Each structure stands twice: as C-alpha cells, then as structure tokens.
C-alpha cells in the first residue's frame, strides 16, 4: 500500500463530486494552514476543474506551484 511505499496521507478533504465541490474542497485545503501541499488529487475531473479555479483565485500557479490531477479522463477536460 501507500505506507509501504513511504507515502503518507497528510490531509484529505472531502467534497461533492461537482465543480463547486472541488472548488470548496480546494479552498478548505488552502485555508487549513500548515505547509502548502505540492499536489492535489481530485477524484473526478469535474472536481479538478473546480479546484483549478480555486487555486487560480488564490494565486497558485498550476503546475508551477502545485500539481493538480483528476481522475476520469473526460475529453473536454484534457483542454484545460
């Protein structure tokens, strides 16, 4: 598992599987304090689009400052 590979889950934020849910979850992550994560993994591409909007609003450059990954491979999101 992840622990065996030396990977720890430092922060997990949950949200609705929507653009708005991704936006709110990213805001919660950014507002939670502590060191800024180097990567955000969204469980859907739609959530990733919302997270991207929140990161940009906060002045976070993707991928320069933080990586962002979604999961679904929705064709239209490939263009984002």
Q: How do the domains of the chain map onto residue ranges? A: 3-79
Q: What is the pTM of this model?
A: 0.85
User: How does pLDDT run across 43-53, given as a tens digit for each residue?
Assistant: 999 999 999 99
In this prediction, residue 26 carries a pLDDT of 98
Separation CA 55–CA 49 (nearest Å)? 10
Region 23-49: what's the mean pLDDT?
94
Please, which residues bridge with residue 69 across strands?
41
CATH topology of domain 3-79: Rossmann fold (3.40.50)
Look at residue 34 in the predicted model and tell me its pLDDT: 84
What average pLDDT does the chain have?
92
Burial class for 73, CB neighbours closer than 10 Å (0-12, 13-18, 19+)? exposed
């Amino acid at each position: 598992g992840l622990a065996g590979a030396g990977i720890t889950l430092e922060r997990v934020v949950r949200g609705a599987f929507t653009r708005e849910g991704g936006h709110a979850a990213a805001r919660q992550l950014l507002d939670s304090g502590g060191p800024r994560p180097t990567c955000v993994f969204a469980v859907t591409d739609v959530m990733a689009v919302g997270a991207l909007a929140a990161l940009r609003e906060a002045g976070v450059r993707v991928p320069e400052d933080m990586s962002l990954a979604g999961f679904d491979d929705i064709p239209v999101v490939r263009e984002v």
